Amino acid sequence: MHSSDFVISPSKAYTTHISVLVKMLEFTKKGTVLEIGGGPFSTPLLHWLCREQKRRVYTYDNIPKYYEYELMFRSKYHNIRFVEDWDKFKTGDRHFSMAFIDHLGDRAKMAVLLKDKVDYIILHDTEEDRIYGYDKIWHNWKYRYDWKLAIPWTTVLSNKKINL
């Protein structure tokens, strides 16, 4: 599969998370990165920036078309895995510096599942928090940063200080 196989709307909605991902990679500087739900924008960005920082990346996806595309980024630093059922998803004992959650699944449930395994959780599409159930989980974190320059919003959650 080639990136040209994707039909991408010119809408900026697909890329509103990019500046937050870049800022968080610079802010955290080291540690393993987790991507829950990849795509033609976040996966290459995380791949190249993490490779430059010599950081490991784990990308998990449940959409076959995206998974096939993401496989081209598999490398020594980047693991790509297909997920049949998000309810059976496990990370083992791994700890992650940051996680980007933007998958076709229960994003709020995933964020809570990862709460104690990730220093900084980045959620996409947070402007309508009731749609994803985010409104029921905000209380699990001490710190929250909302990027609202364009819709959809991107939010960073942590129990460590967020300094963006």
Question: Has residue 16 been placed in a domain?
Answer: yes
CA distance 24 to 157: 11
Enclosing domain of residue 113: 3-158
> Which has the closest alpha carbon to 89: 55, 48, 58, 45?
58
Question: Has residue 164 been placed in a domain?
Answer: no
Instruction: Kindly report, residue by residue over 93-113, the tens digit of the pLDDT.
Output: 999 999 999 998 999 999 999
Question: Has residue 102 been placed in a domain?
Answer: yes
CA distance 115 to 99: 10
21 neighbors 33 (Cβ within 8 angstroms): no
Question: Has residue 99 been placed in a domain?
Answer: yes
Judged against a pLDDT cut of 90, whether residue 147 lies above it is answered with yes
Average pLDDT over residues 70-84: 97
CA distance 156 to 164: 10
Question: Has residue 124 been placed in a domain?
Answer: yes
Instruction: Kindly report, residue by residue over 3-54, the tens digit of the pLDDT.
Output: 445 444 456 678 999 999 999 999 999 999 999 999 999 999 999 999 999 9
Q: What is the CATH number of the domain that holds 67?
A: 3.40.50.150
Helix (H) or strand (E) holding 97: strand 96-101
Number of domains into which the chain is organized:
1
> Which has the closest alpha carbon to 133: 112, 108, 103?
108
Give the global pTM. Answer: 0.91
pLDDT cut 70: percent of the chain above it: 93
Question: Has residue 163 been placed in a domain?
Answer: no
50 neighbors 25 (Cβ within 8 angstroms): yes
Question: Has residue 92 been placed in a domain?
Answer: yes
Instruction: Kindly report, residue by residue over 130-144, the tens digit of the pLDDT.
Output: 999 999 999 999 999
96 neighbors 119 (Cβ within 8 angstroms): yes
**Which amino acid would we find at residue 108?**
A
What is the model's pLDDT at position 6? Answer: 47
Question: Has residue 52 been placed in a domain?
Answer: yes
CA distance 101 to 122: 6
